[in-house]
Amino acid sequence: MGAAKQLAQGVLVRSGYELQRVEDAREKQRLRAHASSIVERHRRQTLDDVNGLNAKYRGPIFGRVRVWDLFPVLARCIDPSDPEFGCVSQLTHTLQVIEGMRDDGVSDSDLLLCALIHDLGKVLLAGDEDPANVGGLNAPIGVFEDGVGFDNCVFQWNHDEFAYSRFRHHVPDHVAWLIRYHSARFELAEVQRLMDDRDKLYTERYYRAFSRHDFSTKSIFGLPNTRIEDYRELIESAFPHPIQF
C-alpha cells in the first residue's frame, strides 16, 4: 500500500469513517445486484406509497435540532443504491460537491448552501427506513397536463421530499425547490413537458449548475480536502436556531 493511500485511510479512520474493502469480484457483483434491487423497488413506488410516506414523516423524527448537528449523522450514512460510489459516506459526497463548486469559482451562497444540505434527507439511512425510499432518481407517478408545474405533480418519494418538508419554511423558494427536485430525472421528456415558468427559470438558473457538480464530483478517489467545519458559519447563519426535523 502506498504511503499516500495509507495517510488518506488513516485520516478517514481517525475522523470516524468506517472503511470497507471490496476486492472480490463476486462481492462487487453482489453489491451491484443489491443496488439494482433497491432502485427497482424505488421505481415501483405507487401513489399510495407516496401518500403513506408523507404521512409517516409528517411529524419530526429527531425533534428540534440544529442543522449543524445533523452532519455527524450524515457521516455515518452510506447509500447502498449507489455502489459505484465505493461505499463512501454521504458527508464525503457533500464535501466533494462543495469543493467542486469552490474549485470552479462558484460563489453564490445559495448554491453553496444547497451543496451542503441537499442530501441531509439521507439521514433516514441511519434509521430503519427502506433504502428504496431514501435514494434513487425520481420520476412522476401518474399522468399530468403539460405545463402544470412540478408542485402540482406527484413524484416518487425519497430523501428530496423528506428534506424539503423540513427546510421549506427556512430557506428561499429556489433553494427549497432545488432540494425537492434535485434527484428528478430532468432528462426525461415526460418531466420537461410538466414544467411551468417557475420550474424552467429555476432549472436554468440553479439546477443545471448544481447538478453538474452533484454528479460529476462523485469519486472514490477524490477525497476532499475541504472540512465541513470550513462551512459552519454559512450553515449556522442560514439556520441560527433549531428546527423541527
8: pLDDT strictly greater than 70: no
Instruction: Give me the chain's average pLDDT, please.
Output: 90
17: pLDDT strictly greater than 90: no
Per-residue pLDDT tens digits for 36-48: 999 999 999 999 9
What is the model's pLDDT at position 13? 62
Report yes or no: 207 and 88 within 8 Å, Cβ to Cβ: no
Domain holding 18, by residue range, is 3-244
Q: Is the dihedral of CA 74, 75, 76, 81 positive or negative?
A: positive
Q: Which of these, 191, 242, 226, lies nearest to 101 by C-alpha position?
A: 226
DSSP 140: B
The mean pLDDT of 216-229, rounded to a whole number, is 82
* CA dist list (Å): 110 to 1, 105, 216: 41, 14, 19
Strand partners, 243: 65
More confident residue, 216 or 237: 237
22: pLDDT strictly greater than 70: no
Q: How far apart are CA 8 and CA 211, in angstroms?
A: 27
Strand partners, 140: 155
Cβ contacts of residue 231 below 8 Å, gap of 6+? 98, 112, 116
Per-residue pLDDT tens digits for 123-160: 999 999 999 999 999 999 999 999 999 999 999 999 99
Q: How far apart are CA 125 and CA 133, in angstroms?
A: 10
Q: How many domains are there within the chain?
A: 1
How far apart are the two ends of the chain, measured CA to CA in Å? 42
Cβ contacts of residue 228 below 8 Å, gap of 6+? 71, 91, 94, 95, 116
Q: Which of these, 103, 84, 87, 111, lies nearest to 211 by C-alpha position?
A: 111
- Backbone dihedral angles phi then psi of residue 36, each to the nearest 5 degrees: -60, -40
